[in-house]
Amino acid sequence: MKEVRPNRRIYGHRARIGYTSPPLTTEIFPYEFYKIVPDGVTLVLTTLAIVERSKSEVEQSYEISMKAARAMAAAGVDIVVLGGVPINLARGAQEADKMVSALEAELGIKVSTSASAQASAAAKLGCKKAVLAQPYAATETDRIAGYGRHFGCEILGTAAWGSAFNQLGRIPVHAALEMARALMREHPAADSILFPSPHWPVIDAIESLEQEFGVNVVTALQAIVWDALRRVGVNDRIEGYGRLLREF
């Protein structure tokens, strides 16, 4: 009988993407990640310490993410993406850029952040005037709208779903679509829709909204995946999740 030899190709034979995920209980990110990426791309995930998103949790998560980045590099990933815009910018935007440069020099691999990926995606799509829908309490809206402006977009209007951080997995899949439609009816001059946070169900709304309103849609997870894929040389044009992944 002929010997059956195992397939020696690893799951992540095209790219292994490391991601430091802020929620201690991470659910949505890996589910939507694998809906987007082509075969041969895998996720190497470390969860951080965010349960309520307190200042102490953010500081603790910053330190954990540094340790996780080094562990991921030792495991041989192709890129490390540091998740969580509040964590990325906890010590200021300039310090974030310095931190990324220092890590790349130390680890010898590419390093990105959620903040830089979303800023790059918004710039690539030409975001000028945007509406923003976010999953958290309305009290978080001003802070999160500030991130949209950091990405280079004027924010015309906002909406909040009202979820606690540790309940994001319970947000229904129609939430993003409903909020965005209401915002676009109120602000028809918007050229883009922003969905911050990659930890609530958003990606299945992208294509419908772009076609319905003729605008660009930038979601945190979509931007993170796009930026990571392109930076490691995976240039597949991916259908079904918006112009960003289809054209750039």
What are the structure tokens assigned to 224, written together?
């993170």
The C-alpha atoms of residue 51 and residue 176 are separated, in whole angstroms, by 22
pLDDT averaged over every residue in the chain: 92
Residue 62 confidence (pLDDT): 82
Q: What is the mean pLDDT of residues 50-70?
A: 81
Q: Which residue has the higher pLDDT, 132 or 52?
A: 132
Cβ contacts of 49 within 8 Å, gap of 6 or more: 24, 57, 60, 61, 64
Residue 141 structural domain: 118-220
How is residue 189 annotated by DSSP? T
CATH no. for residue 81? 3.40.50.12500
Residues 151-188: tens digit of each pLDDT: 999 999 999 999 998 899 999 999 999 999 999 999 99
Residue 148 lies in a domain: yes
End-to-end Cα separation, the chain, in angstroms: 49
Residues 126-147: tens digit of each pLDDT: 999 999 999 999 999 999 999 9
- 212 and 177 inside one domain: yes
- 127 and 71 inside one domain: no
Cβ contacts of 229 within 8 Å, gap of 6 or more: 15, 17, 37, 41, 235, 236
Residue 49 lies in a domain: yes
- 109 and 229 inside one domain: yes
Residue 6 confidence (pLDDT): 56
- 53 and 175 inside one domain: no
- 108 and 146 inside one domain: no
Residue 5 lies in a domain: no
- 52 and 102 inside one domain: yes
Residues 83-107: tens digit of each pLDDT: 887 787 778 778 888 989 999 999 9
Name the amino acid, one letter, at 158. T
- 71 and 28 inside one domain: yes
pTM: 0.92
Q: How many domains does the chain have?
A: 2
What are the structure tokens assigned to 24, written together?
């201690």
Cβ contacts of 65 within 8 Å, gap of 6 or more: 20, 46, 48, 82, 83, 84, 87
